Structure 1
Amino acid sequence: MTKTQQRSTRPPAGATRVRWLIIWVAFVGLSINYLDRASLSVALPFMGEEFELSATQEGLVFAAFFWAYDACQLAAGWYVDKVGPRRSFTLAAIWWSVFTALTSLARGFWSLLTVRFLLGAGESPAPSSAAKVTATWFPTQERGFATSVWDSGSRVGAVIALPIVTAIIAVFSWHAVFVVIGALGVGWALVWWRIYRDPRQHPRANAAEVAYLEAGGARTAETDPEDARRIPWRSLFRYRTVLSMMFGFFCLNSVIYFFITFFPSYLVDERGFDLLELGFFGAIPGIFAVFSGWTGGLLADRAIRRGVSVTRVRKTVIVGGLAGGSVIMFAALVPEAWMALALLSLAYGSLTVAGTGIWSLPGDVAPSSRHVGSIGGLQNFASNFAGILSPIAIGALVDATGSFVVPLFVIGGIALVGALNYLLVMGRIEPIRLTGDERGAPRQPVGA
């Protein structure tokens, strides 16, 4: 990269910074999104007297969320590209907030399973909306940190779920948890609708900021290649890059969703944590993961600004993060709780670093801005098979073996498989190019 190119990676003097306001509002939305889904995993150990669920039934309840969440991903990605993140994010937040509040009315296994299923449907557009926002509002050299910001909402949501949910339960009851969190989501939806516009339409973004975004590779309709706009959605399945993204994200989520579902139960049942210890010490891995993700995103952006290829940066982040996440298997073997927490923190932090790279990929490889949400939906669709399978498998293995040792070794091994996939299967990370007739129907994948 030349000195002139290096200078062009910095925003010009006088450029507004609306993009950072937008991404931090998106961060709050994703925090509430994950607070909604994580609240049940925190509350469930203290709902046993009313529900009397086995570990297998708990796994089924957790998985019900992902049955709907995953089934809707393909349509959700397409929908985000069709209507834009302003509308998709707002409507999704209202939907998931309503069904979060309705969780307070559940009275047994089937009612709990049903409301979690409907909650999953409402949350499905959220990550693709955030990925679309990042690709639209950030140039390539800022996309890593921007992605780490909104993606860290998943960790923050899980972290704050522990003290918030346990405090509400201690003062009131588990029913109040879901009403309060549902109200937060509706409030955020109104803020998002008010604040979000695309760059050229945003009243607070000046011409200097818009020019900086578009020159740096922000994916907007104004900068799309004309032929790329006509690429059919179904053709995306033809590419090794997209298929590798789908499989690799499945491997990452196989480990991540342990923290979202069974992590509190692990601390209570395996390590003997009481309510106070769960609320305090249980937050440590998530806090560590938040700062790890931000650090990884900043370092990735710095490397790209210095001229390191996007392919090398993204692969280093993702492969290294998945390899680090595999240490979760050793948490099952150490004798002391603090040792387990240290290993779990390292694993969660490493996986979060990998996640920032993975969620940067849709903006990196999409052939046009009209495909960013769709590709995000594709990889999230595949990844959340882990949300369906992993909780059931973990619950069944805990029931069969009486501990978390075998489940942790299994998901740690899956993390290593994911690392090898990104290292050996995925090719160069660059916008997908297709050849086809004038209507955009592909004949032969290029660079697949």
Structure 2
Amino acid sequence: MAVVSTDLIEDGQLLKECILIKENTKSPIDNRIWSKSEKKQWVIGLFSGTTFLYAARTIMPLCVVAVSEELHWDKTESGMVLSAFFWGYCMTQFLGGYLSDIVGGDVVLPIAACMWSLITFWTPWFAYLSTDKNYALYIVVLSRVLLGASQGFHYPGMTSLISRKVLENQRSFTYSVVAAGSYVGTLLTGSLGSIMMDEYGWQMPFYCIGLLGISWMLLMRYMLIAKQRWRNGGLSIYSEPLNEKTGKMEQKTPVPWLILLTKPAFWSLLVGHFCENNAFYILLSWMPTYFHENFPSAKGWVFNVVPWVITIPSSIGSGYLADLMINNGYSVTFVRKFMESVALLGTALFLSLISFASSYSMCLTCLALAVACCGFHSSGILVNPQDIAPRHAGSVFGIMNMAGAIPGFIGVYVAGHILEATKSWNAVFGQTAVVCLFGWIVFILFGTGKKVI
């Protein structure tokens, strides 16, 4: 049996490796972690994909005021459109993780990207497909459901890849950098999207982000994934993780769901992620509307940009700090709970303080810091499935993110209903803070960074 060197850093070895691969194309060749150069390329690629993914996701929250005025939607109908995304997003989380664990994230991600990019590009056309208000609303809601379903494959696929290709003491930083793309994407929509909307109408951001998503898919497919498969003799980059003691590839086994469901750590993961996402999705979906209503003279590019600018370093910095703490001897459990405490307690604190703020600058500061605290979630619960189930991280993450998507359609819709009934933003932010506190208590009591399955 031919043996392929695990060091692909030197370009001079590439021809030799390709010859060896062709001698044994039926073997799972790429059964190793990424080299330094490979990890850099994949991090850049996945970061870019997450950026465009969130840019596509956040266009509707940015444009919902303009769209609702043109199409005559009230707050409840706007909330239904905003929350519809998460109905679809919830449906495909487990499927995305399961398929990624089986066939590889390199197969799943490009297909999903093609779908959500095309739906984004066609959204303005969907809005004008019927002259009847109700039919037009239902069509837009359906397109948002499909957008969520196609985007539901991204994070589980990405998690499955990273869990197999990155060492445990490097995962926090790697994942936090990739996850920071979500804030960059929101920033991209809030800045350039706001300008395009003001200059060319609300339709233009949908067209541009849709094209960017298609471009990213093609670049990943033909410049990075194809390159890896050429090195592997046409095989997927997917492989089972290596056993740290024997150095051999572990055998594929089904997810032991019955055992997992008896573990308090798994349930604390679901509850904590649910509660944090409840805060994040409400802020993501309703923050532009909050500023439009309370400070109508404020510039959209300011409040759509500032929160996400400061969240990018908080996400990346939390990942660097988490890996540094682990390398300095702190337990993975302590690090995950510390990061999640900053995320959930910090978000709850600043959402509570906003009820005492009256000026535009104070409200912007409180909401920006609340969003920035959410960035620490990337090195807390978000990476935790790779700790408790490294061989099934994609599937476990899919279940976790399915639970995390529920507040997307319930919390966002309920927030719109509360606003329609009470006209009180403090009521929305107050109940969101309480949910964050509950999630923190559960994860602190039952969460762990140890492998459970």
Instruction: Summarize the Cα distance change of 1:230–1:401 in structure 2 as closer, same or farther, 3 Å threshold.
Output: closer
Match of 1:297 among 319, 329, 340: 319
Aligned partners of 1:147, 1:115: CA distance in 2, in Å?
29
Identity over aligned pairs, percent? 25
**1:137–1:198 contact (8 Å) kept in structure 2:** no
Question: CA-to-partner distance for each residue in 1:215-242, whole Å, 9 max, x for gaps?
Answer: 879xxx9543x4x724445653332222
Question: CA-to-partner distance for each residue in 1:14-35, whole Å, 9 max, x for gaps?
Answer: 8642112201210110111111
Does 2:287 align with 1:263? yes
Aligned partners of 1:273, 1:57: CA distance in 2, in Å?
25
Specify the alignment match of 2:183 in structure 1.
155
Question: CA-to-partner distance for each residue in 1:49-102, whole Å, 9 max, x for gaps?
Answer: 321111111111111111111022122221221221111110110000111111
Aligned partners of 1:74, 1:395: CA distance in 2, in Å?
28
Question: CA-to-partner distance for each residue in 1:181-233, whole Å, 9 max, x for gaps?
Answer: 111111111122234459996849xxxxxxxx96879xxx9543x4x724445
**1:23–1:133 contact (8 Å) kept in structure 2:** no
**1:397–1:407 contact (8 Å) kept in structure 2:** yes
Question: CA-to-partner distance for each residue in 1:286-307, whole Å, 9 max, x for gaps?
Answer: 1111111111110110111111
How far the C-alpha of 1:332 sits from its partner, in A, is: 3.1
Specify the alignment match of 1:143 in structure 2.
171
Specify the alignment match of 1:72 in structure 2.
92
Specify the alignment match of 1:97 in structure 2.
117
Specify the alignment match of 1:444 in structure 2.
none
Does 2:283 align with 1:251? no
Aligned partners of 1:329, 1:396: CA distance in 2, in Å?
20
Match of 2:155 among 127, 152, 161: 127
How far the C-alpha of 1:354 sits from its partner, in A, is: 2.1
Does 2:394 align with 1:366? no
What aligned pairs does 1:383-394 form with structure 2 within 5 A after superposition? Answer: 383-394=404-415
**1:69–1:122 contact (8 Å) kept in structure 2:** yes
For normalisation by structure 1, the TM-score amounts to 0.85
Aligned partners of 2:311, 2:395: CA distance in 1, in Å?
27
Aligned residue type for 1:260: L
30-39 vs 236-245, greater mean Cα deviation? 236-245
Specify the alignment match of 1:325 in structure 2.
347
How far the C-alpha of 1:315 sits from its partner, in A, is: 1.1
Question: CA-to-partner distance for each residue in 1:135-156, whole Å, 9 max, x for gaps?
Answer: 1221111111111111111111
Aligned partners of 1:62, 1:48: CA distance in 2, in Å?
11
Aligned partners of 1:255, 1:216: CA distance in 2, in Å?
38
Does 2:190 align with 1:170? no
Question: CA-to-partner distance for each residue in 1:409-429, whole Å, 9 max, x for gaps?
Answer: 110111111111110122x32
Match of 1:238 among 242, 262, 269: 262
How far the C-alpha of 1:387 sits from its partner, in A, is: 0.4
Aligned partners of 1:315, 1:53: CA distance in 2, in Å?
42
Gap runs ≥5 in structure 2:
1-6, 11-34, 129-135, 233-240
Specify the alignment match of 1:440 in structure 2.
none
Specify the alignment match of 1:17 in structure 2.
37
Instruction: Summarize the Cα distance change of 1:366–1:194 in structure 2 as closer, same or farther, 3 Å threshold.
Output: farther
What aligned pairs does 1:357-436 form with structure 2 within 5 A after superposition? Answer: 357-368=380-391, 371-426=392-447, 428-433=448-453
Instruction: Summarize the Cα distance change of 1:119–1:324 in structure 2 as closer, same or farther, 3 Å threshold.
Output: same
Instruction: Summarize the Cα distance change of 1:249–1:29 in structure 2 as closer, same or farther, 3 Å threshold.
Output: same
Aligned partners of 1:63, 1:281: CA distance in 2, in Å?
21
Q: RMSD of the alignment, in Å?
A: 2.5
What aligned pairs does 1:82-93 form with structure 2 within 5 A after superposition? Answer: 82-93=102-113
Match of 1:55 among 46, 67, 75: 75
**2:280–2:374 contact (8 Å) kept in structure 1:** yes
Aligned length: 405
Match of 1:349 among 366, 372, 383: 372
Instruction: Summarize the Cα distance change of 1:297–1:307 in structure 2 as closer, same or farther, 3 Å threshold.
Output: same
246-255 vs 258-267, greater mean Cα deviation? 258-267
Aligned partners of 1:50, 1:114: CA distance in 2, in Å?
19
For normalisation by structure 2, the TM-score amounts to 0.84
Aligned partners of 1:353, 1:35: CA distance in 2, in Å?
20
How far the C-alpha of 1:41 sits from its partner, in A, is: 0.7
Aligned partners of 2:266, 2:61: CA distance in 1, in Å?
32
**2:271–2:443 contact (8 Å) kept in structure 1:** no
**1:333–1:405 contact (8 Å) kept in structure 2:** no
Specify the alignment match of 2:59 in structure 1.
39
Aligned partners of 1:324, 1:127: CA distance in 2, in Å?
24
* SS class of match (2:282): helix
Specify the alignment match of 1:229 in structure 2.
253
Instruction: Summarize the Cα distance change of 1:73–1:347 in structure 2 as closer, same or farther, 3 Å threshold.
Output: same
Question: CA-to-partner distance for each residue in 1:345-375, whole Å, 9 max, x for gaps?
Answer: 221111110233222112111152xx11101
Specify the alignment match of 1:339 in structure 2.
362
Aligned partners of 2:291, 2:142: CA distance in 1, in Å?
27
Aligned partners of 1:196, 1:129: CA distance in 2, in Å?
16
Aligned residue type for 1:305: N
Instruction: Summarize the Cα distance change of 1:101–1:198 in structure 2 as closer, same or farther, 3 Å threshold.
Output: closer
**1:267–1:273 contact (8 Å) kept in structure 2:** no
Aligned partners of 2:150, 2:42: CA distance in 1, in Å?
22
Does 2:214 align with 1:189? no
Question: CA-to-partner distance for each residue in 1:318-343, whole Å, 9 max, x for gaps?
Answer: 12221111121221330111111111
**1:103–1:178 contact (8 Å) kept in structure 2:** yes
Instruction: Summarize the Cα distance change of 1:196–1:309 in structure 2 as closer, same or farther, 3 Å threshold.
Output: farther
